[in-house]
Amino acid sequence: MFSRKAETTAQFVDRFLKRIALAVSIMAASYGSGAVSHLVGGRANEILLLVKDPLGLIAALIVLPMFIKMVAKLIRSGGKHRAPSGYVAEMYGRSAGNGFAAGFIFLVFLEPLSGGALSHLPPEFFAQSSIAVLLGALGISFFILNRDDDDEIDDEFENDGQGA
């Protein structure tokens, strides 16, 4: 029988950040569908508005259980439950920077259009599209930076125990 090894704090944090990135990507899709709904009419508009809120709910449900576990761990450890910042945390931070940059560049390009070609659109369009680009860039960047997932690859000393 194989016994499943208990998850360490570092592994939990990595898994939590991956879940957040997934939820952020789904939120981007939710805001994106809200923004695009202002550009299309008829049946497409109805479908986009129909999927917008459920996507947001799915994103919340993806993160909420692990968020509660994380808070519980922090409370149990008296706020001392901190693992050193590892690879996944570093990539998440880098992705957040990329997301901010993409959102900023999008706003710079959107600003002149807001008084011109897109002046007929409501303020919600500009807010939703900007948030979608920011969150979408964060999520995509994170998954690209973590695409070589070698978590399942053993190294040759795996079965040799704790060593010297």
Partner 1 sequence: MSAPLNNRIRVYRAEHRLSQGALADIIGVSRKTISTIEVGRFVPSTVIALKIARHFGVPVEELFSLPE
- The residues, ordered by sequence, that sit 6+ positions from 20 with a Cβ below 8 Å of its Cβ are 63, 92
Restricting to residues 137-156, which ones interact with partner 1 according to CB under 8 A? 149-151, 153-155
Q: Shortest gap between Cβ of 110 and partner 1 (angstroms)?
A: 29
Tell me which stretch binds partner 1 (CB under 8 A): 11-19, 33-41, 54-62, 106-114.
11-19
Q: Shortest gap between Cβ of 149 and partner 1 (angstroms)?
A: 8
Distance CA 87, CA 18 (A): 12
Q: What is the DSSP-derived secondary structure letter of residue 148?
A: S
Q: Shortest gap between Cβ of 126 and partner 1 (angstroms)?
A: 33
Q: Is residue 136 within 8 Å of residue 32, measured between CB atoms?
A: yes
The owner of tokens 């994106």 is 32
Does position 79 interact with partner 1 (CB under 8 A)? The reply is no
Of residues 53, 90, 111, 124, which one binds partner 1 by CB under 8 A?
Answer: 90
- The residues, ordered by sequence, that sit 6+ positions from 23 with a Cβ below 8 Å of its Cβ are 59, 60, 62, 63
Does position 88 interact with partner 1 (CB under 8 A)? The reply is yes
Structure tokens at 70: 């994380």
Distance CA 57, CA 59 (A): 5
Does position 80 interact with partner 1 (CB under 8 A)? The reply is no
Q: Shortest gap between Cβ of 46 and partner 1 (angstroms)?
A: 43
Structure tokens at 158: 């795996």
Of residues 54, 65, 86, 97, which one binds partner 1 by CB under 8 A?
Answer: 86
Which spans of this chain sit near partner 1 (rule: CB under 8 A)?
8-11, 13-14, 83-88, 90, 149-151, 153-155, 157-164
